[in-house]
Structure 1
């Protein structure tokens, strides 16, 4: 009798193992929503305009009028160079211009006299008139070229005066009086940047790129001023992902008239993002991670279906997913690889929750 009972229990256990495992679990609907979510990203404050001021022509530094930290206005004189050979070149070109101009005036007068004489029939041959006209035009061309050469020499002299290209502050002074500048291995005389207006630049990860809204606002903090929060508005974006790190570059203009902020500070930016279109969201516990990928299990009409999805962003207990899902689908809140797909055979296998 003991042997027979033991055999019956063994057969019963094998029969239970052969049947598919039925898991009683709860389901929830797929949510199609368009929520606003927050994202914190690092950024950098830079001067709105920043430039290294070079000397265009070779010369010695004769006078410096500014130093590091000085505020300057657009067009303000920063330094003066000296190059005596430029003055001599200008005088030579000016003398040549006057000489060529005299030749042009003489050729024009000769041509005008021949034109007056040609009004008398037979007084001047046509060839003589054409020759005088050609000589006048040639002299005029030479005069124009000489005048352009003089203007070029005069313009080079203007480059000896170094002026500020915009309103800003001198951040570096790299030369001293008497230094030769503008030659090979040219070193900038100054570096200057705009301080009353800054750029807040950040790189937004690819999966958030479609959530950027035109004119969106942001708040940020800097480590040099703990406890203070600043605001900025989106001014421009590249519109294309950077191939190096697959990110979208955003720029916010920051008005800094008070001078509280410094160009070069690192900032932590809080963004309010929102997808342009509603997307599918499911509870984070409903994702099934396997070696072959990430899935959710849907239950409809007593049938369990495994749907491959890609994860998006996370918001509290919900996570955004992309896959072959519909708004009418219901998903298992606690999926398992042991749950068999296909017909469950019982409508009571899963409980519905909201």
Structure 2
């Protein structure tokens, strides 16, 4: 009977000790914090190809405003707005009598000096022949004749230059077309006083070839190349697309627009389009080297910066980045990251530097 009581007491003591031990272990487990679990994905590298739509403007391939170089009155106006002209065609005549008089005076002076030169040349030849006979003339006389001949020769050269300058100035009385084109504006009428750049005379444009001018934002500038293709539409030709190829760029960003000014030449020999029209330009762009991209959900934006949560050895590293192009749920990033790095799939503001997490690969693999 005593043995039975002792056995029961021993059993109760054992159960009590076990209960205390389990309670202690449970308390220890509860004291240990659990790590949050986050899905992660890999940073990918790719040469991005994408389409971009931007506004553009059609401009004449060549355009010029004509001014008068000399002062005078408009004597005759041979063209009007809308007239087609050929290179070298006289568009306008200026009456400037004083310019013509200067030319006539210079030519008269040229003839006078030419006659003097002819006489001094003949005289020098006679004196030179005479000097072959010893004692016929003195050396001083021969030298004087030669000097007179050389002076008249120099004077003739100078007056010829005057005549050429006067003739060129007189030529400015005729305003000629610098290229084939169309007169787009007329600013004067016959009898108007013009000259010395006071006011424009005519405006001329070449429209058989047009320049499509587009401002490419700086973030897209390095995706442009000599092989870039584009097409554009205009309101004046609904439903039609006009293909063009890259022609030239400014190479430097416009300081006001912070954009690269790019031109695409369009053959308008059929006269379908008009200069001055606005266009919607559709570009096919391609980065010139691979860049990194991540799911758009990985980006963390704060009031001061844009971040991404990189995961390394189970801990968070907050990396400052700059974003680029978004395409198909992925976004281009630039920062201290490499292809293959793990980042949190769904970033949020609770993630901090050094934070320990349980990283789990995302079940849904995003396509490139």
1:249 paired with 2:258, answer no
Counterpart contact for 2:44–2:340, Cα < 8 Å? no
In structure 1, the gaps of 5 or more residues are 1-7
Aligned pairs for 1:14-163 within 5 A? 19=33, 22-163=35-176
Aligned residue for 1:212? 224
Instruction: Please report how far the alpha carbon of residue 339 of structure 1 lies from its aligned counterpart in structure 2 after TM superposition.
Output: 3.3
Instruction: Please report how far the alpha carbon of residue 321 of structure 1 lies from its aligned counterpart in structure 2 after TM superposition.
Output: 0.5
Q: Take 1:234 and 1:227, find their aligned partners in 2: how far apart are those partners?
A: 23
Q: Take 1:343 and 1:59, find their aligned partners in 2: how far apart are those partners?
A: 85
Q: Take 2:87 and 2:149, find their aligned partners in 1: how far apart are those partners?
A: 46
SS of residue matched to 1:269: strand
Aligned length, in residue pairs:
337
Q: Take 2:304 and 2:65, find their aligned partners in 1: how far apart are those partners?
A: 55
In structure 2, the gaps of 5 or more residues are 1-22
Counterpart contact for 1:22–1:339, Cα < 8 Å? no
Instruction: Please report how far the alpha carbon of residue 208 of structure 1 lies from its aligned counterpart in structure 2 after TM superposition.
Output: 0.9
Aligned residue for 2:284? 272
TM-score by length of 2: 0.86
Aligned residue for 1:318? 330
Q: Take 2:295 and 2:143, find their aligned partners in 1: how far apart are those partners?
A: 95
Counterpart contact for 1:30–1:281, Cα < 8 Å? yes
Q: Take 1:345 and 1:26, find their aligned partners in 2: how far apart are those partners?
A: 10
Instruction: Please report how far the alpha carbon of residue 88 of structure 1 lies from its aligned counterpart in structure 2 after TM superposition.
Output: 2.6
In structure 2, do the counterparts of structure 1 residues 174 and 24 end up closer, same or farther at CA, with 3 Å as the change threshold? same
Counterpart contact for 1:71–1:170, Cα < 8 Å? yes
Aligned residue for 1:5? none
SS of residue matched to 1:121: coil
Instruction: Please report how far the alpha carbon of residue 112 of structure 1 lies from its aligned counterpart in structure 2 after TM superposition.
Output: 1.4
TM-score by length of 1: 0.89
Q: Take 2:317 and 2:170, find their aligned partners in 1: how far apart are those partners?
A: 82
In structure 2, do the counterparts of structure 1 residues 150 and 25 end up closer, same or farther at CA, with 3 Å as the change threshold? same
Q: Take 2:357 and 2:244, find their aligned partners in 1: how far apart are those partners?
A: 58
Q: Take 1:85 and 1:341, find their aligned partners in 2: how far apart are those partners?
A: 86
SS of residue matched to 1:245: coil
Aligned residue for 2:7? none
RMSD, aligned CA: 2.1
Larger displacement relative to structure 2 (62-71 or 288-297): 288-297
**Greater C-alpha Rg:** 2
SS of residue matched to 2:178: coil
